[in-house]
Structure 1
Amino acid sequence: MNHRGLGDVGSVSEVGYGAWQIGGDWGEVTEDEAVAAVEAAREAGVDFFDTADVYGDGRSERIVGETLADEIASGDVTVATKAGRRLDPHEAERYTEANLRRFVDRSCENLGMETLDLVQLHCPPTDVYYRSETFDALATLADEGRIANYGVSVERVEEGLKAIEYPGVETVQIIFNPFRQRPARLFLEEAAARDVGVICRVPLASGLLTGALSRDDKFPEDDHRNFNRGGEAFDVGETFAGVPFEAGLDAVDALGERLPDDRPLPEFALRWILDHDAVSTVIPGSTTPDHVRSNAAASEADPLSETEREAAAEVYDEHVRGHVHQRW
């Protein structure tokens, strides 16, 4: 497993583990399955784990905290969590120091940590990025030792660009994959120039870029790939990276026609992301240990060839760009 710098957070595995699936919104996942997935990631060399307080109302945090308790205590892993989506209503003016302190204290308890390694604002309303008092509150919590570092998780490139104007923001988490290519230009350049760590989520486009989904697939009622296809529950960009399901399958078929047979599609997608030097870590999620291990192995895979890069650009332009590029 290779490592990269994540702002002032430190060195982390360039393939991390995204713990949304073990919390909720992906169908039923048993406790044993969740623990096995986290253990498989750790055994594969992953030392960066990303969770949030709303994933299963704290379930994901608790499983990560309990499963990795020894590694957390020894400092052998870095755990990032997120705060803000517990607000109801979810409004910019409610991102106050009092509310953030309450969320941080709860996450400390869930994870079994006195000081959180990294707290990220969890896709807040755009107006939050124009409220300096919210970032002052995070700085206060850092000064008090409740959090070691803070950053943001954003929906839009413009939000990320605004966030990194605040000097204390060490990381930006953003959707970036072969079906969401816009961050590759200005955003990654600016993040690198400011030494801001970049965490890439939804790297496999909710399963589209595994090549395992088909037009006949039906998803459980409690799976966001069923209930959020039109953005009914949260930003539609979190589901299939914002690409309509049928269009995404067409794009996958087109990739299959252009890519070499010896490159598995998930490895291709993860390598496409990692081949951008400004990326710090990519956080695929899975509840299948074999998939977790193969995702981690992408760290050691060969960089993409010119043919593969051209295929990614062509398929994006032909099948995907019109659905996502100017929206996020």
Structure 2
Amino acid sequence: MEKKVQIGKTELYVHPIGLGTNAVGGHNIFPNLDEEAGRELVRSGLENGINFIDTAYMYGPKRSEEIIGEVIKERANRSEIVIATKAAHQFIGNEIKVNNSPAFLKQSVEEALQRLQTDYIDLFYIHFPDQDTPKDEAVGALKQLKDEGKIRSIGVSNFSMDQLLEANKDGYVDVIQNEYNLLNREAEKELFPYVVENKISFIPYFPLASGLLTGKYDKHTNLAEKRGKFFERELFESTLEKVEKIRKLASTKDAEVAHLVLAWYLTREAIDVIIPGAKRAEQVLQNLKTLEVRLNEDEIREIDRIFQ
């Protein structure tokens, strides 16, 4: 059984590999999702030692939380499972507005508790910053919910450095979840030093850059069928060359490219846990192989240099 790690200064102890669940009930993200496959994916993670599940109101919307709530209900030991969810999106007619007001965040937590069929959420994030709400006020509302026992720790997501500074004015922020991967290392400049100093845990999303860092693509990939910034031709082609260099190192360790990349993230001082997504149960088990990869200092520096 893998040793659990503490998330920042929280009282949450988790397996270093969590599970990102936007493919569990995230019908608005992935067309033609099979909900039973989503349930199996979560069950498979829980049965194999993963105890940290990351979801959000916007996955579905709502449906991911509902399915996760159903699966967790099947198990007797809620206290062994660490659930993270997020909110900030408000539907007004057909419009989506981002709302960080204390009243909206409190309402969002109450509704998430019902969907997840639980009486507390281990980690609750403000999913996106809005334009109007002072961030320390938004976090202050979550601190009240924490004091009431409805949430156990406070996160922010997609916050800039300035927004994080405002949000953490009173020292209440425990976790920040932003994009970070070997192709986008912006967070290393200002965010990483700040979070390390303040014992805030940084959880990266898009750790595998929409699959580009898994090694599954090659120069024959039809980019016309792919969407998103990672598949713009120039970036795509330069990344393939870098991935090939990593593949050589991976093969000496009998590992896959993705395992090496994920293992490298866990060598960053700011990062305690990673939450690669999965669409199928076997991918969950694949992700767990990351922990079999041991990188020495030279190898860590080599990967750093390739993706400078």
TM range (shorter): 0.7 to 0.9
Partner of 1:2: 3
Partner of 2:176: 172
Amino acid at match of 1:136: G
1:24-63 to structure 2, matched below 5 A, reads: 24=27, 25-63=29-67
Tell me which moved more, 3-12 or 115-124.
3-12
1:179, distance to aligned residue in structure 2 (A): 1.4
CA distance in 2, matches of 1:288, 1:194: 36
CA distance in 1, matches of 2:12, 2:40: 26
Tell me which moved more, 299-308 or 55-64.
299-308
Amino acid at match of 1:19: T
- 2:69, 2:115 within 8 Å by CA — same for their partners in 1? yes
Amino acid at match of 2:262: L
Unpaired runs of 5+ residues, structure 1, are 220-224, 230-238, 318-328
Larger RCO: 1 or 2 (CA < 8 Å, sep 6+): 1
CA-atom RMSD, angstroms? 2.5
Partner of 1:284: 276
Q: In the alignment, is residue 101 of structure 1 matched against residue 92 of structure 2?
A: no
Q: In the alignment, is residue 74 of structure 1 matched against residue 66 of structure 2?
A: no
Partner of 1:125: 130
Match 2:18 to one of 16, 19, 24? 16
CA distance in 1, matches of 2:167, 2:113: 24
Partner of 2:241: 253
1:166, distance to aligned residue in structure 2 (A): 3.6
Equivalent residues, number: 296
Partner of 1:216: 222
1:158, distance to aligned residue in structure 2 (A): 4.7
CA distance in 1, matches of 2:262, 2:237: 18
Amino-acid identity (%): 25
CA distance in 1, matches of 2:177, 2:60: 20
1:165, distance to aligned residue in structure 2 (A): 3.6
CA distance in 2, matches of 1:304, 1:21: 34
Q: In the alignment, is residue 115 of structure 1 matched against residue 120 of structure 2?
A: yes
Amino acid at match of 1:103: S
**1:146-188 deviation per Cα after TM superposition (whole angstroms, max 9, x unaligned):** 2222111125455445434441111111222211223234322
DSSP-derived class of the 2:121 partner: coil
- 1:120, 1:150 within 8 Å by CA — same for their partners in 2? yes
CA distance in 2, matches of 1:198, 1:131: 18
Tell me which moved more, 248-257 or 17-26.
248-257
CA distance in 2, matches of 1:36, 1:159: 37
1:80, distance to aligned residue in structure 2 (A): 0.4
CA distance in 1, matches of 2:166, 2:211: 30
Q: Compared with structure 1, are the counterparts of its residues 282 and 68 closer, same or farther at alpha carbon in structure 2 (3 Å cutoff)?
A: same
Amino acid at match of 2:14: V
